[in-house]
Structure formats: structure tokens, C-alpha cells
Amino acid sequence: MKNLYYIAIEGPIGVGKTSLANLMSKELGARLVLEEFEENPFLPDFYKDPERYSFQTQLFFLLQRYRQQQELRQVDMFQNLLLTDYMFVKDRLFASLNLGEKEMQLYDTVANLLERNIIKPDLVIYLQADSDTLMKNIANRGREMETDITYEYIDALSQVYTEYFFRYQDTPLVIINTNNIDFVHNEKDLQEVIQYIRQPISGTKFFNPVSDIK
């Protein structure tokens, strides 16, 4: 991994991005930058009334993530690997699902200006899971603000992610199917994921691990 400086982990809600980022940062001694979703004051209202609060929610996330991305430019001499649990483009994916046509046009105007100053990851890890697994994970973590998330929303969000990464060519990409592993509770599963990521990667690679623990 000596040629990697910046790894971004992406995927739909409930797939395990933050959990994997935390575990990998400990294993690899990486600097960790996590999405600050809990600071968005509009998010609980959005889950209750998406049509009314979608634009405020997306604009807050866009500006918040832009500020955080600018901080990534600060070099840490003692840590040569940076890990994030999101990509800046994440907000555009959510916006495309949540905003109406006129709102999306205004959002695009702002986002296009900000994206000029965003650094690209050296490697992207895209975590996949089916909608049933995602809903189960969301329920298990028990966040109050997420109790109003519907199966239909998660299913539509997964489709948006799938379509985006099907066409993705900006950086090396690893797509990991997480349906049959548990890297949070199974150390062997975690090590298998890390070992796969450690190998030199170019283009797009697909990884479909299966846990030996039932």
C-alpha cells in the first residue's frame, strides 16, 4: 500500500462504511476522517418529511463536506495514509434522488464550483449489500433519526449507487459484496478484506468474500 495516500470508502446507508473505516485505520495506522452527519440539523426532519426538507439537508451536507475536504489537504507527517468513510460525490448522488428538477439545477450550480477544489482518492472501496441486509443493519444500530427510513428509499438509494459505480473510472475501485461477511464481529473477515485491499489495484476489481462463520 506504499503508493496509496488517500482511501475513500463508499456505499449506501447501513452498509458498514464507518465501521470498516474505523477498523482499517486501527490496523493500518491511518489518519481517519469521518462524515459528520449528526451535525446536520435538517436530517431528522428530512427522514420524516423528505419533500419539505430535502434541499436544506443536501445544501448543508454539501457545504459541510466541502469544508471537511479542504482540511484533508493538511499534511500529517506522522501518518502517511488517510481514510474517509465517504467521497465528496456522495452528496450529489443523494441530491439526484431527493431533489426536484429546479432544486437540482441550483444545487448543481453550487456543487460544480466547489468540486473544482476537491482532491481525488488514490483508491475507492465501494461496499455493496442487498436492501434487506441494509435495512437489518439500520435497525440493529438503532439510531433514532433513522427510524423513518423506508425500504423503498434504501432500495432506490442502492440503485443510484450501483448505477454510479457501474460507470466509475476516475480512480482505482474495489467493489466488495458484504452480504456474506461480518468484518465487524469476525476478525478473519476483516483481515481478508484488508489483505485484498493491500494488493496493487488498477481499474475496477470485484471481491465477493464468504464468511466461514454461519
150, part of any domain: yes
Residue 77 pLDDT more than 60?
no
Number of domains in the chain: 1
Determine the average pLDDT of the residues in 25-46: 89
In a domain? residue 165: yes
DSSP letters spanning 49-81: -HHHHHHHHHHHHHHHHHHHHHHTTS--TT---
Quick: pLDDT tens for 90-117.
Answer: 999 999 999 999 999 999 999 999 988 8
**Contact 97/160 with Cβ under 8 angstroms?**
yes
pLDDT category at 134 given cuts 50, 70, 90 is very high
**Quick check: is 195 in a domain?**
yes
Q: Tell me the one-letter amino acid at 133.
A: T
Distance between CA atoms of 171 and 30, rounded to whole angstroms? 20
- Exposure of 212 in the CB half-sphere (CA atoms within 13 A): 5
Domain that holds residue 122: 6-207
On whether residue 213 sits in a domain, the answer given is no
Average pLDDT of the chain is: 89
5-16: average pLDDT: 93
Residue 26 within any structural domain of the chain: yes
pLDDT at 4: 65
Q: What is the pLDDT of residues 154-210, one digit of tens each?
A: 999 999 999 999 999 999 999 999 999 999 889 999 999 999 998 888 889 999 988
Which pLDDT score is estimated for 81? 85
The pLDDT value recorded for residue 199 is: 84
Instruction: Tell whether 212 is covered by a domain.
Output: no
Does residue 214 belong to any structural domain of this protein? no
Q: How far apart are CA 21 and CA 136, in angstroms?
A: 20
The number of residues in the chain equals 214
Report the candidate in 153, 161, 151, 207 with the shortest Cα–Cα distance to residue 181: 207
**Domain contains 35:** yes
Res 73: pLDDT? 72
> Averaged over 48-76, what is the pLDDT?
87
- Written as nine digits, the cell of 69 is 475536504
Report which secondary-structure segment, H or E, holds 201: none
- The CATH number of whichever domain residue 53 belongs to comes to 3.40.50.300
pLDDT at 38 (0 to 100): 84
Where does the chain show beta strands of DSSP type E?
6-10, 31-33, 82-84, 123-128, 173-177, 204-207
Helix (H, G, I), strand (E, B) or coil at 9: strand
Question: Over 80: is that where the pLDDT of 13 sits?
Answer: yes
84: three-class secondary structure by DSSP:
strand
Mean pLDDT, residues 17-25: 94
Strand 204-207's sheet: what is its strand order?
31-33, 82-84, 6-10, 123-128, 173-177, 204-207
pLDDT of residue 78: 56
